[in-house]
Amino acid sequence: MQTSNLLTSKKLYLIWLALVLSVSVAFGQKSTRLNTGWEFVRQDLGGVWEAVRPVGAGNPESVPLWEKVTLPHCFNARDAVDPDQNYYQGPGWYRTQLPVQNPYPGGRTLLHFEGAGQKTDVYLYTTKVGSHVGGYDEWTVDITQALAEFQKTEVYQKQFKGQIPLSIRCDNSRDLEMIPSDLSDFNVYGGLYRYLNLEYQPALALERLAAKAEVDAVGKAGTLTLKAFFPKTTTAAATPVQVRLLDPKGKQVAKYQGQLAAKAGEVEVHQFAVKNPRLWSPASPQLYTVELTLGTGPQAYQHREKVGFRHSEFVEHGPYKLNGQRLLLRGTHRHEDHAAVAAAMTEPMIRQEMVMMKQMGVNFIRLGHYQQSRIVLNLCDSLGILVWEEIPWCRGGLGGPVYQAQAKRMLTNMIAQHYNHPSIIIWGLGNENDWPGDFPEFDKLKIRAFMTELNDLSHQLDRSRYTAIRRCDFCKDIVDVYSPSIWAGWYRGIYTDYKEATQKEFEGVKRFLHVEWGGDSHAGRHSENPDNALAKISRGAGADERAGDASLFGGSARVSKDGDWSESYLCNLVDWHLKEQETMPWLSGTAYWPFKDFSTPVRPDNPVPYMNQKGVVERDFTPKESYYVFQSYWTAQPMVHLYGHGWPVRWGEEGELKMVKVYSNCEQAELFVNGKSYGVKKRNSQDFPAAGLRWNVPFIAGDNQVRVVARQGKQTVQDELKFKYQTQKWGKPTQLTLQKVGEANGLTTVEVKLYDAQGVQCLDAVNWVDFSLAGAGKLLDDLGTSSGSRKVQAYNGRAIIRLQAQPGKTAVAVQSPGLETVLLTL
């Protein structure tokens, strides 16, 4: 049994419960998620009247046909990775009917959108009550007045039986005058893909509370400054206010009572002095609680925020310091994307992802390339993960006034909405802004001027945090922190170039941080000689990604084009980078790109079509081998992992010594092969590969069993795996076989294998295979995983897919170019 520090389901639940109890109440006195009772149609309507008009069964008014959905919901849950078509970009409509009854006399009724893509119009019956442009920032619609007017109508009682008809049009159509660009390496999704809330507020309530927690470099003197922001509709009046500050254990450490001169806009509330505050850090994410009460009695408005005291510093020409101590930022990236739901990730899904990151040892994340869900930021605060969050000015150049206004608005909203999170240390202003293509003009001076505007705006809104961009050398002097493009061993050069290339880039900027490095790996594909492609690669020509490097065709030799895309190679690349980072005392940190495979419209030819496969976990959270390489360097809880859990057949000569790699953070490990010990080895991070925990051992033809026992002090952890060893050589694939290999929980697994003319499995075959199904049942495809795609490249001469079995006969077919199609009847 494999042993690592992946949490059990029970432990995950306990963390989930603890985090639920710590979430900030940042909007509304009473808030309800509107998840159920929705209908959806993926097309445009002639107008909102088509969504609300009376409909008789069988009448023409019943079309178009609507489908029942739950929120969050994304237009592109499946088609983002459909290998046979472009993903849908256009309008779609949602509708529901709500019982609405605000318990506060004279109060406001709001719809709070946590994010919707990309242009959204909101209607109460036939009245347009709000609009928003931008797919990632939060926004609210005040429906109080429209609601009161509609409730006076006859149709409210007769047609809708006292319910409120709500219709929402979302549109992710291509638009050159919007950010992000459709040239971006991610999908610009459509839909209500984040939570939508119905909120009731008393007559006097806050729009938001800005809580600025600061502490000096030695952590002794803290201050907490509170500012209230009231809606434009607020009538000026003095009102009682009470504020309590609770320490991380819930003990009150400060209190303020007084009168607040409430008025529209910004109002200063109070400033607390906090001596020797408990400091927030990734190792100990200490969170204080601010509780504010406005007014008294049943009409009182209550608000709660979590804050943390920490001191953040990027040393000029040096490392990063948190609370006065050097901290190596060990980071990754996140796109809001998941198998079968695309951007519509639920809160439990998001929690699982962030907990898996923390278990991998992550203490830093860049949220690429847009403002993300408040759930993500709350989890970063609670788990202890520092954050770079950015606006989606990504690729394409610079648009006109509408384009630029949207970018400024999204930066303003991101800072305002996420200002209180102690995890955030950087506001990102753009990504790959040196990439032209959306406009006839690509003017570097105009891009520099606009970048300067964004930089000034960020500092005006928040002087306590740094600004940063990635990959735009002609703007690197504008922002506080700069990340160049360094892809040693993938888009350019070989991975042993990494340290030299990084040092050179470090010396060229005031504050350096390296985000985005790594490489693609096709889950389930392994290699006995993963570094073979390096012999073709030129050294000394840099390690940056250049125009055309992401293409699988043409250009100079590079691993991204000429390598085998195996998990084996990626583990070596990651292993080398991590061992080198331990010897770079000037390094502030890095962020591997990305944590999870994600869909993209610009990579149709990848082994899983339309997927960026650089993640250390697949799109459904299945860990790849590289996940455990990171664990072995970045975590303290004893773990051990034998490479090759997804490698059912290894190959080589009879009696040949084969390498077995063990990834562990323990002091030493002992390897057993088929019951025989091959000795104890001690871990040394600078002994590449696998930190010295590697053995060259013989396998026997057929079945083999390997076990490792690792020790850290008195603690022992172990892992084992079984596989076959093939000594027969093979030729060119000439035939396919298809068979059922598993059945569980109503799902049947089928596997295709490729063989040569002599019936020997071709273990290095990478042929494209296409699955199809006729009869009862349904393929579980369009998931964007190596086992959930009907069109996929083989991994080691095989590929699997699952199907939902149903009563009756089912025929599964598989075909591959140049080979005879085979059928399997179930």
Alpha-carbon span 384 to 115, nearest angstrom: 24
Nearest residue to 341 via CA among 91, 19, 69, 34: 69
Q: What are phi and psi of 326, to 5 degrees?
A: -60, 135
- Report the DSSP beta bridge partners of residue 671: 708
- Angle of helix 444-461 relative to helix 401-418, nearest 10 degrees? 30
**What angle is formed at CA 195 by the lines to CA 191 and CA 200, rounded to 5 degrees?**
125
Alpha-carbon span 358 to 648, nearest angstrom: 29
For residue 689, is the peptide bond before it cis, meaning its omega torsion is within 30 degrees of 0?
Answer: yes
Q: Take residue 307 and report the two structure tokens written for it.
A: 């804050």
Q: Which helix (H) or strand (E) holds 499?
A: helix 498-506
Alpha-carbon span 455 to 198, nearest angstrom: 35
Q: Which helix (H) or strand (E) holds 150?
A: helix 144-150
CA of 287: how far to CAs of 245, 272, 500, in Å? 11, 16, 40
Contact 478, 448 (CB under 8 A): yes
- The answer to whether 432 is a known catalytic residue is yes
Residues 6+ apart with CB under 8 A from 47: none
Q: What are phi and psi of 491, to 5 degrees?
A: -80, -20
Burial class from Cβ neighbours inside 10 Å (0-12, 13-18, 19+) for residue 354 reads buried
Report the Cα–Cα distance between both ends of the chain, in Å, rounded.
Answer: 32
Burial class from Cβ neighbours inside 10 Å (0-12, 13-18, 19+) for residue 805 reads middle
Contact 8, 632 (CB under 8 A): no
Alpha-carbon span 98 to 102, nearest angstrom: 12
The counts of H helices and E strands in the chain are 12, 46
Q: Take residue 683 and report the two structure tokens written for it.
A: 């871990």
- Identified catalytic residue from 199, 313, 390, 432: 432
Contact 222, 307 (CB under 8 A): no
Beta strands (DSSP E) in 504-654 are: 514-515, 589-591, 598-599, 611-612, 640-642, 649-651
**What angle is formed at CA 30 by the lines to CA 29 and CA 35, rounded to 5 degrees?**
140
Alpha-carbon span 284 to 384, nearest angstrom: 7
Buried/exposed code over 553-580 (b: 16+ C-beta within 10 A; e: otherwise): eeeeebbbbebbbbbbbbbbbbbbbbbb
Alpha-carbon span 443 to 397, nearest angstrom: 8
Alpha-carbon span 469 to 475, nearest angstrom: 8
Polymer length in residues for the chain: 826
Q: Which residues are catalytic?
A: 432
